[in-house]
Amino acid sequence: MALPPPDPVFVLRGTSAAVHALRFSCGSQEPDVPILFSGSENGFIHVWNLKTHRVDTALDGHGRKSVYCVETMGGKDRILSQGRDQRICLWDLAEGRTAVTDSVFTENVGFCRCSLLKLAEGRWLMAMAAKALEEVQVLELPSKTSVCTLKPEVGAKLGMPMCLKLWQ
C-alpha cells in the first residue's frame, strides 16, 4: 500500500489568479535568500521570498495578459518574462526597480515558451517562435540582433513550434 503524500511545509498565498509559470533562484553572492518567481494569469509576476513566505514585489508588465514563462538571467535581479500580450519582457530588479527595461514583440500568437542560452556574462541567445507559424527566430540579447531564422524545407508541413530548447 502506498504512503499518503506529505503535508506541505508552507503554502504561499498572495496572488489572486492562477499561476502559469514558476522559476526558482536559489544562489547568489549575497546571503542566500531563495526566491521564487511566479507568472500569473492576470499578467503579474510575483517575487516570493522563500524565507519569509511572502511576496517581496509584484511586477506588472504584460497588460493584464497571462504570463506563461519566467526565466532568470544569471541571478535573481535579471529576469525575462513572456506573456499572451505577444511580448517578451526583460527586467532588471536591482535597487528595487519594478519596470520593464526592454522588450521584444514576438508576432506569434501561440503558446511556445522562448528558450535562453548564456553565451558570456551579459550576453544571451534567445530562441522564440517566429511570425511565420513554422519558423523559429534566434536573437542575441541584449542587442536584440537577429542571429538567424530557422525555416523548414520547402514543401514541409511541420506546423507551429510547441517547445524550444537551446543548449550547448
Cell matching residue 59: 511586477
pLDDT score recorded for residue 159: 87
pLDDT score recorded for residue 28: 56
pLDDT score recorded for residue 14: 82
Q: Do 128 and 159 form a contact (C-beta atoms < 8 A)?
A: no
Please state, in angstroms and as integers, the Cα–Cα distance from residue 123 to each residue in 77, 132, 136, following that order.
15, 26, 19
Domain chopping of the chain, boundaries: 7-105, 108-168
pLDDT score recorded for residue 3: 93
Provide the CA 37 distance to its chain's centre, in angstroms. 9
Kindly report, residue by residue over 141-157, the tens digit of the pLDDT. 999 999 999 999 988 88
Those residues whose C-beta lies under 8 Å from the C-beta of residue 157, and which sit 6 or more positions away, are 134
Per residue of the chain (168 residues), give pLDDT as tens. Answer: 899 999 998 888 888 899 999 999 986 555 578 999 999 999 999 999 999 999 999 999 999 999 999 999 988 899 999 999 999 999 999 988 999 999 999 988 888 999 999 999 999 999 999 988 899 999 999 999 999 999 999 888 888 899 999 998
The candidate with the shortest Cα–Cα distance to 113, out of 72, 69, 48, 146, is 69
State which fold the 7-105 domain adopts: Thrombin, subunit H (2.40.10)
